[in-house]
Chains A and B, each alone.
Chain A
Amino acid sequence: MEVTTKSMPYEAWKDNEYIEKLINELKENGTNVIVGSFDKLINWGRSNSIWPLTFATSCCGIEFVSLGAARFDMARFGWEVARASPRQADFMMVAGTIVNRMVPVFRRLYDQLAEPKYVIACGGCAISGGPFRKSYHVAKGIGDIVPVDVFVPGCPPRPEAMIYGIMQLSRKMKVERFFGGVNRQESKRRFLLEHPID
């Protein structure tokens, strides 16, 4: 099974092994024909209307604005409805540095996102602290704070890279088990148990 998005040939993707691993996991676990068909339908819908949260702390956020404007036009992929409230968003594009003071706020925003939720770490700062890694007031990557689905490197990443990153996320959504899978959030619950808030 070749999982791809519209207008993108399967061979053009850089890391098909990753998606094939997910497919194999899906095959091994098996699923009911009816539930599986519903999964497919729901995932088709979900993967084509991923709504981002308007969340930006620094430079990468401006590239995210460019992504929303006419030239790069993320609307053509179904990502255009940037929501200001986390409760209406599907994923969070962490565009910019997360510093110590921002960490609790960021974590709360993540907790407020409606399930199933996804996180894209966009740019060097979000991935590892980037150029500010040695600073006294910068979190060294958001991987310790929330589970990350896609990493988009760059400082800041070009809008094309961001499109590629979100397309990867959309591809991941397509091969997820929805019923008994992401709608139950076991993996995320485990993460939250390991990283309790209070």
Chain B
Amino acid sequence: MATLKDKIAQLFPEATFAEGEMLEINIPDAQLHSLAQTLHDDPELAFDFLVTIVGMDWKDKMGCIYYLTSTTHNTNIAVKVTTDDREKPMLHSVSDIWRIAEFFEREVYDFFGIIFIGNKDMRRLFLSIDWNGYPLRKDYDTNPELNPVSTESERQSDGTDMYIENAEGKVEKKHRNIFEKEDFVVNIGPQHPATHGVLRFRTAVDGETIKKIDVYMGYIHRGVEKLCEDLQYPQTLHFMDRLDYFSAHNYHHGLCLCIEKAAGIEVPARAQYIRVIMDELSRIASHCLFLGTFCMDLGATTMLFYTLRVREQILDIMDKTCGARMTFNYDVIGGVMADLDPDFVKDVKELLAVLPKNLKEYDTLFTGNVITKGRMEGVGVLSREDAINWAVTGPSGRASGWACDVRKTHPYSIYSQIDFEEAVATEGDSMARFKCRIKEIEESARIIEQLIDKIPEGDICAKVPKVLKLPVGHWWQLVEGCRGAFGVYIESDGSTKPYRLKIAPPCLPLAAVVDHITTGNKIADLITIGGSLDYIVPDMDR
């Protein structure tokens, strides 16, 4: 870390540093772009993966924190940039360095009104163009009369604004059209059975070939981050169930880890084992549903009935211990809410016994099928560089050859003691994404096998104060959800409620990359590609 710091201090004398969980660089906005370029291009630094951009409102100033990871050196860094202007805050864009930044910056603009100079597309991401105010600012007026619920169709524009700095350093606004004039635009969604929820693609087609896709989100934007700011820490947990409802346990785990890290709470061994087993069980259940719905999208409805059989078996196990089928609210700060059901070990072993047989059945039913191969092999190829550039994590990223499993790269809980393989493929097509998930089911089963007989006795929850206050500061935690790296950022001002709770969902990059992958493919392949990426819309919209 010291050498990294020296190197940057030498190149950028204006930068100031703060040591925390990782090196944090404070940089004036004018230097941001060249610093970002250096961090990305220098082979010794090689921060090629932009995990997220956290927009912040510190009342006296506004700004962003960029979380970066190097995939070659496995190092982490945070870059902080601020502006004093509250009326029309402006920062420089890094969307030309990391492609995914285009979407992250749009999100920050939507929530905080920070304009990014150089970003080609400065539209709101989730809210309508007529929305009054920027909801995550601390002085946002929540009066519902300002933004009423209306049954009238919202005003939409095919254009977008772009802010460019000219030679004299003045910022100019430029209008740009998203589609070309002669483009034929087909609207897919928000109500479409194959978009896996309410996502909308505005698709410009040339005959049957896709020219460009404009991803239109926000049809299930529920404002979870703002809601969390009014709730105490234990109360914020239940929202994690409702983001990516398949990784409910994993997301809970992530937020709990972050809060525990901040409060300095030691989690008992038994609770850690239970948490990991639950995470892996939900991963199997999630991937099972993926196999079913993906095949259903391609027209093979039968698979859904076979895969849901295993999922129902897992949901029964969950139901016995957690008391719910989907929204468990099981992980709590300091451990888990209730002890395991007496039948838990027996039930899990029964599941593990039938799982290989089921996987074999899926293979014979679907994987080897000629039509399946024709529709999936070579369709929607995503290269490793693009996967990193677009921050596509999870099984979809690993199918492109990028070993990005957070359980391996930044082990948390007891994952460092477990022997398992990361499912990595090199093809990067829809078939690879499909196979990666089948492989992950096997690996998850292996993890559970290792742990199920060794669950230690003891407490299930540490002693946690009734009124939990976090010290002043900020914390960042990554965990592996079922669809990719899930990040939580908490900033505390010392009270019982988070000052800012940022959720970095894996599904936003998955949806953002659709345009890049599908361009040049046939419109029918959009269903295959979208299905194989397996995004969950409430997760990306939050």
Contacts and interface: CB of A to CB of B under 8 A. Distances in A.
Interface of A: 54-59, 61-63, 65-66, 69-71, 84, 86, 96-97, 99-105, 107-109, 131-132, 134-140, 144-145, 155-156, 158, 195, 197-198
B193 A103 contact: no
A69 B304 contact: yes
**Which of A97, A101, A132, A135 lies at the interface centre, i.e. has the most chain B CB atoms within 10 A of its CB?**
A101
Given A63-B326, A69-B305, A69-B308, A97 B151 contact: no
23 contacts: A54-B193, A55-B191, A57-B219, A59-B242, A59-B245, A62-B326, A65-B293, A69-B312, A70-B309, A71-B308, A84-B192, A97-B220, A97-B222, A101-B126, A103-B150, A104-B150, A104-B151, A131-B238, A132-B227, A135-B227, A136-B135, A137-B221, A198-B152
Contacts of A96: 220, 538
Given A59-B241, A99-B221, A102-B198, 7 more contacts: A58-B197, A59-B242, A62-B326, A84-B193, A96-B538, A97-B222, A138-B223
B151 A195 contact: yes
Contacts of A132: 222-224, 227
B223 A136 contact: yes
Given A63-B326, A138-B223, A101 B128 contact: yes
B496 interface: no
B135 A66 contact: no
B197 A61 contact: yes
B151 A101 contact: no
B149 interface: yes
B154 interface: yes
A104 B126 CA distance: 15
A58 B220 contact: yes
Contacts of B373: none
A135 B223 contact: yes
Interface in B128-153: 128, 135, 140, 142, 144, 147, 149-153
B223 A66 contact: no
A69 B289 CA distance: 11
A198 B153 CA distance: 9
A138 B242 contact: no
A101 B197 CA distance: 14
B522 interface: no
Given A58-B197, A105-B191, A109-B191, A100 B149 contact: yes
Contacts of B538: 57-59, 96-97
A96 B536 CA distance: 13
A100 B222 contact: no
Contacts of B221: 99, 101, 137
Interface string B179-194: 0000000000011110
A137 B191 CA distance: 19
A105 B219 contact: yes
**Which of A96, A139, A198 lies at the interface centre, i.e. has the most chain B CB atoms within 10 A of its CB?**
A96
B325 interface: yes
Interface in B265-292: 289
A140 to B, nearest CB: 8
Interface string B317-329: 0000000011100
Contacts of B202: none
A96 B198 CA distance: 11
A137 B224 CA distance: 10
Contacts of B230: 134
Given A101-B128, A102-B219, A59 B151 contact: no
A197 B193 contact: no
A59 B326 contact: yes
Contacts of B305: 69-70
A104 B308 contact: no
Contacts of A57: 197-198, 219-220, 537-538
B127 interface: yes
A49 B479 CA distance: 46
Nearest to A140: B149
A56 B173 CA distance: 39
A54 to B, nearest CB: 5
A66 B150 CA distance: 32
A63 B197 contact: no
Contacts of A58: 197, 220, 242, 245, 537-538
B324 to A, nearest CB: 9
Nearest to A111: B151
Nearest to B197: A57
Given A62-B245, A105-B219, A198-B152, A158 B325 contact: yes
Given A62-B245, A62-B289, A136-B142, A105 B190 contact: yes
B151 A145 contact: yes
A66 B126 CA distance: 29
A100 B124 CA distance: 15
A108 B219 CA distance: 14
B149 A139 contact: yes
Given A69-B305, A101-B127, A131-B239, A136 B149 contact: no
A76 B86 CA distance: 60
B439 interface: no
A105 B193 CA distance: 15
A31 B312 CA distance: 48
Contacts of B142: 136
Interface string B211-246: 000000011111110110010000000110110011
Contacts of B153: 104, 108
Contact of A107 (B151, B245, B315): B151
A191 B325 CA distance: 36
A61 B537 CA distance: 12
Contacts of B242: 58-59, 131
A104 B154 contact: yes
B197 A99 contact: no
Nearest to B151: A107
A107 to B, nearest CB: 4
